[in-house]
Amino acid sequence: MTFDTPLVRSSLDEVADEAKDWRRTIHQYPELLFDLPKTAALVTEKLTEFGCDEIVGGIAKSGVVAVINGTKGRGRTIALRCDMDALPMAEQTNLQHASKVENMMHACGHDGHTAMLLATAKQLSANRDFAGKVVLIFQPAEEGGAGARVMIEEGVLERFGIDEVYGMHNQPGLDIGSFAIRSGPMMAAGDRFVVTINGKGGHAAYPHLSHDPVLAGAQVIVALQAIASRFTNPFDPVVVSVTYLEGGNPGALNVIPAAIRIGGTIRTMQTATREMVEQHFREVVANTARSFGSQAEIDWRPGYPVTVNDPVKARAAAKAATFAAGADNVDTDWPPTMGSEDFSYMLDKRPGAMIWLGNGNSADLHSPAYDFNDDAIVHGVRYWLTLVDQRLNDSAGE
């Protein structure tokens, strides 16, 4: 498979133009979590039209998996994964292809990810000059539903005999046509918590007759910052953010409430650190609340694990990106991000790598002003095709 001929460049430009239309259709009709009937139907329709060897729907409710066999006999089985779901937020782009669904929008570019993988499926179905097979995973519920974990639990890795798995996500601020990757931890684990602090309510004029949970909660919030500043190595990133505080009644400002709630997130980059931080969190919260005569109920909500790129597969991904985009357009030491990604579950089970694709000077991810940049599509498809070519036409080496 050669990508530097006029014929192939023309073909890629043509399929990228088609993918732009698919992307904008998906963008106009966003769907959430596992409930993606329109998106899954469009994906299935296109994969069928392309002539994929096997198409299976209904995995994790609305996930779709397609298989494309090479013509060079046996070899590796590699999986390419995209996410399909949108976010529960109102779009503020005023674009012609803006969301037509109230309080739902594709604010993270999953519409673009889906369109690029569909375009890749079309190209691979028409040009199967490789050994082994490619498994295309169209995943639901990345935005908080752990769709990757559910697909794994339903046997997607074993059922399709997947040896390696690769992901790609757009990155605002990274130039169009550029890629970024790193070996090892790339994205953080993101755990959440809600703490209820139970004290003893009473009259604000007689605080000594109460056990004020507001005061206890304030001290807990301050004490939690010591986890990152005093309990962990400063070279091991940890972020503790209290983002929610509820208690009392603005109509009764002379009343000390009986209970308050605080909530937030904790981000870590190492599995061992994650476990240690949870232990310290529980101790700090319980002991601080107790010192003010209150009791803490901790609702710990484990989030996605650390996204860890396999060193060998990260090099393979960087090699493919370098071939597709040129060495000057590939950063192989991109700083880790404290955001989270459920592709981490797949990387925990199979070697592989996640790579960033430049989205140009766009609004940030999860912003109501965000839109996936269609100019990135051809570069993403070229990367996928190059990765397949290199991984499945050199089965003996890395």
110-166 pLDDT tens trace: 999 999 999 999 999 999 999 999 999 999 999 999 999 999 999 999 999 999 999
Average pLDDT score, the chain: 94
Nearest CA-CA partner of 111 in 317, 375, 373: 373
pLDDT (average), residues 300-319 = 96
Q: Supply 44's token pair.
A: 């299935």
Asked if residue 44 lies in contact with residue 57, where contact means CB atoms within 8 angstroms, the answer is yes
Query: Going along 235-315, which residue ranges are E strands?
Result: 238-247, 255-256, 259-268, 295-301, 307-309
Q: Supply 229's token pair.
A: 């500043």
The terminus-to-terminus CA distance of the chain in angstroms comes to: 18
CA dihedral for 315, 67, 177, 366, sign (positive or negative): negative
Does residue 395 carry a pLDDT above 80?
Answer: no
Distance CA 67, CA 96 (A): 34
Distance CA 17, CA 205 (A): 70
**Beta pairing, strands 179-180 & 352-358:** antiparallel
pLDDT band for 5, please (50, 70, 90 cuts): very low
pLDDT (average), residues 271-289 = 95
Nearest CA-CA partner of 370 in 87, 86, 90, 93: 93
Does residue 340 carry a pLDDT above 90?
Answer: yes
Residue 118, C-beta contacts closer than 8 angstroms, at least 6 positions apart: 19, 22, 43, 46, 47
DSSP state of 397: -
Q: Three-state SS for 125?
A: helix
Query: What is the per-residue pLDDT for 11?
Result: 86
Q: Three-state SS for 70?
A: coil
Asked if residue 240 lies in contact with residue 224, where contact means CB atoms within 8 angstroms, the answer is yes
pLDDT (average), residues 6-29 = 87
pLDDT (average), residues 279-304 = 96
Distance CA 133, CA 74 (A): 8
pLDDT (average), residues 61-89 = 97
Does residue 242 carry a pLDDT above 90?
Answer: yes
Domain ranges of the chain: 6-186+306-392, 189-301
Query: What is the per-residue pLDDT for 174?
Result: 97
CA dihedral for 310, 338, 174, 29, sign (positive or negative): positive
Query: What is the per-residue pLDDT for 305?
Result: 95
Query: In the β-sheet with 189-198, what is the strand arrangement from edge to edge?
Result: 238-247, 259-268, 189-198, 295-301
Distance CA 371, CA 364 (A): 9
In percent, how much of the chain has pLDDT > 70?
Answer: 96
Chain segment 177-219, per-residue pLDDT in tens: 999 999 999 999 999 999 999 999 999 999 999 999 999 999 9
Distance CA 186, CA 179 (A): 14
Query: What is the per-residue pLDDT for 396?
Result: 41
Chain segment 370-383, per-residue pLDDT in tens: 999 999 999 999 99
Query: What is the per-residue pLDDT for 4?
Result: 55
Burial class (CB within 10 angstroms; exposed 0-12, middle 13-18, buried 19+) of 6: exposed
Phi/psi at 194 (5° precision): -130, 125
Which residue in the block uniquely carries the two structure tokens 């319980």? Answer: 286
pLDDT (average), residues 265-279 = 94
Half-sphere exposure of 224 (CA within 13 A, CB side): 26
Q: Output the CA torsion 332→338→342→346 (10° steps).
A: 40
Q: Supply 286's token pair.
A: 């319980």
Q: Do the domains 6-186+306-392 and 189-301 sit in the same CATH topology, yes or no?
A: no
pLDDT (average), residues 232-241 = 92
pLDDT (average), residues 307-324 = 97
Residue 353, C-beta contacts closer than 8 angstroms, at least 6 positions apart: 166, 167, 181, 309, 310, 313, 314, 316, 317, 347
Q: Which CATH number fits domain 189-301: 3.40.50.10320, 3.40.50.2300, 3.30.70.360, 3.40.630.30?
A: 3.30.70.360
- Looking at domain 6-186+306-392, its CATH class is alpha beta
